[in-house]
Amino acid sequence: MKPIKTLLATAAMLLAAAPALADINIGVSLSLTGPGSGLGIPMQNQLKLFPKTIAGEKVNLIILDDATDPGKGATNARRFISEDKVDLIIGSCITAVAAAMSPVATEGKTVQLAASPVGLPPGQDGWVFRLPQSNDVMAHAVFGHMKKLGIKTVGFLGYTDAYGELWLKAATAEAEKNGIKIVATERFARTDTSVTAQALKLTSANPDAMLIVASGSGAAMPHKAVVERGYKGKIYQTHAAASMDLMRVGGKDVEGAYVVSGPATVGDILPDSHPSKAVSKAFLTAYEKVYGNNTANQFAGHAYDAQLILEKAAPMALKKAKPGTPEFRAALKDAFETMGRTVLAHGVLNWTPDNHWGYTMETGVMLQVKNADWVLAN
């Protein structure tokens, strides 16, 4: 009997050392260093508040820094799939990095919740779902607002990467729909420390408004450059710039700027009729209780929404399979595509098998910087 007891004891030890089959493992790749850190760190902060269990199952978050580097993001995604055997990938907060991760997630048949508006060729986003609103949805709000103000000409100053390219495409289409002409287009790299030459060319064109496509605190530099070149027209920023960092770095130069945003960070000023008002206020209250007033941004909101989505989808997937299996990963994808109307801090989402963006054209909220704070734009 002694050998049998020894074998049983050894088996028990091995089982105790192995990860529980029911654990939901989530790999998270964020830009915690590099130019995108102003977006990644708030997401990490929110993920520190992530629940320890969902639908009765333990949740393990594995958070890695991609250093705002697409190659590093792809490496992180490969590790998540091959070594950590994750059920879900979240990231990255930078479009170019998320795009580099997507083929890895797709090959590994693991759902990726992209925290940036990554655009992929048709047929290549079957496992990729976006937490942010599409650039098309946000451009709709921007150019609709421009039309109401009688703007006829626009200058474009944006990143040379995927985020800038996708916004230029969306802006071009929406400008045409609204009878507005983009009269000058200039680009710059995320790592550039000056855009003086581009700003001079744009101000020389003297458009009615400027659209700056940049993110986080990095959106302040091109904004200030345009103002310092003497531009007096209206200046618009995209949803990646909708954070207090824009005002902290931009100071008086960004006063009066128009910024399109999801509703996540402005729940306290949304009308009572807005479907996301209660959810966005709950996000802000919980986040700022821990990190202080005016610390929440759009990207922290994406992390909060990831939790809400998983809390709705996981019970659906668990009816079909256990975490840690290919069947569960497939079930989770099916749950995202069929969970229906879901109110988030960032708006109302309804993913379908044919639409992994989900947000409606009513999503974008136009804000204006007034006295170093947000107000709803007229």
| pLDDT > 70: percent of the chain | 94
36 vs 257: which has the higher pLDDT: 257
Strands 347-349 and 234-237: unpaired
Domain ranges of the chain: 2-133+296-349, 135-261
Class for domain 2-133+296-349, per CATH?
Answer: alpha beta
What pLDDT shows up at residue 21?
52
| pLDDT > 90: percent of the chain | 79
Is 135-261 assigned to CATH 3.10.20.440? Answer: no
Query: Hey, do 2-133+296-349 and 135-261 end up sharing a CATH topology, with the first three levels equal?
Result: yes
How does pLDDT run across 87-108, given as a tens digit for each residue? 999 999 998 999 999 999 999 9
| Nearest CA among 220, 216, 242, 369 for reference residue 298 | 242
What pLDDT shows up at residue 273?
84
Mean pLDDT taken over the chain? 92
Using the predicted structure, report yes or no on whether residue 8 has a pLDDT greater than 50: no
Using the predicted structure, report yes or no on whether residue 183 has a pLDDT greater than 70: yes
Label residue 35 by pLDDT band (50, 70, 90): confident
- Could you tell me the pTM of the whole model? 0.81
What pLDDT shows up at residue 162?
84
Q: For helices 95-107 and 162-177, what crossing angle results, to 10°? A: 110
Q: What is the mean pLDDT of residues 250-270?
A: 93
How far, in Å, CA of 62 to CA of 90, rounded? Answer: 10
How does pLDDT run across 120-178, given as a tens digit for each residue? 888 889 999 999 998 999 999 999 999 999 999 999 999 998 889 999 999 999 999 99
Using the predicted structure, report yes or no on whether residue 336 has a pLDDT greater than 90: yes
What pLDDT shows up at residue 99?
95
